[in-house]
Amino acid sequence: MNRAINWLVLLAILAAVVGSFVYLGLDLRALVGNGGLEQMGEYATRFLSPDLSSGHLRAVGHGALETLAMSGLGTLLAMIFGLLLALPAAGRFGWPLQGAARLLLNGLRAIPELVWAALTVLAAGLGPNAGTLALALHTAGVLGRLFAEALENAPPEPAAAIRLQGGSQVAAFCFGTLPNLWPQLLAYSLYRWENNIRMASVLGFVGAGGLGQMLYTTLSLFQESQASTVIVAMLVLVLLVDAASDVMRQRYVRA
């Protein structure tokens, strides 16, 4: 019986995939044949000679640093707000606050970064400030929920023991719960940082600073060689952050 249902589920998935292909009416043959592949190849070759003039490189470098700062600070702010919201969301201050905090977290999380960025650009004007705030708002929602789950799953015994010795709530949290919890919090935060560096480099598409803005303008002006430098910079940035986060994970989470 169970097996039969599983087969049915698999069949439904297959049907969904086929249905999606049909619905989109993708004509892959037209994409590949009829000179389409050559056209794409020709388009791709225009990216093969990145613009390495010093003026452009300096601009890209500044954009890259700006992107890095946006992702880092956005994640940091989100960690702080996330933890502040996770405490009530894990039910530490009674159920009315728990419900409210959860609703807030879900709202923050559900709206994608790019929509947040469009809104913050409206409110705070063009520039990296809007991007940082957008990242912080969305990530606070995601991290808050993950932190709340981690808090709920943390073993209560160490904190209870400190309470039993006469320690205060805060002391019990800092000395009983946090030591077990913080590797998990850090693991989640690093994971979001890796996500955010990718997001930070594209928030510029809606005017929120960083490399994305450069990529958007250069592509709109058909300056493929300049655009290709920007893409390479994004790639380097992402690899750099992935490596840094991996080092920190090895050092502080797995130990």
Partner 1 sequence: MSIRLHGASLRHGQVLALDGIDLCIEAGERVAIIGPSGAGKSSLLHLMASALRPSSGRLELLGEQPWTLSGRARQRLRARVGLVHQAPPLPPRQRVVTAVLAGRLGQWGTLRGLANLICPLDVPGARQALADLGLADKLFVQCGQLSGGQLQRVGIARALYQRPQVLLADEPVSAMDPVLADHSLGLLNRHADVNGVTLVASLHAVELALAHFPRVIGIRDGKVAFDCPADAVTQALLDALYANEQLLAQQPVPGPSLVVQIPRC
Partner 2 sequence: MLIPNARDPATLPRLLLMLLALVLLWPGLQLSELNPGVLLEAENRRQMGNFVSAFWPPAHEREFLDLLLEATLQTLAVATVGMAMALLLAVPASLLASRALSLGAASRGGRPGFWSQTLRLPIRGLLVFLRSVPEIVWALLFVRAVGLGPTAGVLAIAITYSGMLGKVYAEIFESVDQRPTHALLQAGSGRLGAFFYGILPSAASELVSYTVYRWECAVRASVVMGFVGAGGLGQQIDLSMRMFAGAEVASMLLTFLVLVFFADQLSRLLRGRLT
| Contact residues: partner 2, CB under 8 A | 5-6, 9, 16-17, 19-21, 23-24, 26, 31, 36, 39-40, 43, 65-66, 68-70, 72-74, 77, 110-115, 118-120, 122-125, 127-129, 131-133, 198-199, 201-202, 205-206, 209, 215-216, 219, 231, 234-235, 238-239, 242
**Residue among 102, 83, 75 at smallest CA distance from 173:** 83
Q: Which does 4 bind (CB under 5 to 8 A by kind): partner 1, partner 2, none?
A: none
- Residues 64, 209 contacting (CB under 8 angstroms): no
Q: Pick the closer one to partner 1 by CB: 167 or 183.
A: 183
- In residues, how long is the chain? 255
Site for partner 1 in 180-199 (CB under 8 A): 180, 183-184, 187-188, 191, 194-195
Question: What's the sign of the alpha-carbon dihedral 43, 46, 51, 52?
Answer: positive
Q: Pick the closer one to partner 1 by CB: 69 or 253.
A: 253
> In the complex, what is the shortest distance from the CB of residue 59 to partner 1, in angstroms, rounded to a whole number?
30
Burial class of residue 122 in the structure, from the number of CB atoms within 10 Å of its CB (0-12 exposed, 13-18 middle, 19+ buried)? exposed
Q: Pick the closer one to partner 1 by CB: 83 or 227.
A: 83
- Residues 150, 120 contacting (CB under 8 angstroms): no
Find the distance separating the first CA and the last CA of the chain, reported in whole Å.
45
Q: Which does 168 bind (CB under 5 to 8 A by kind): partner 2, partner 1, none?
A: none
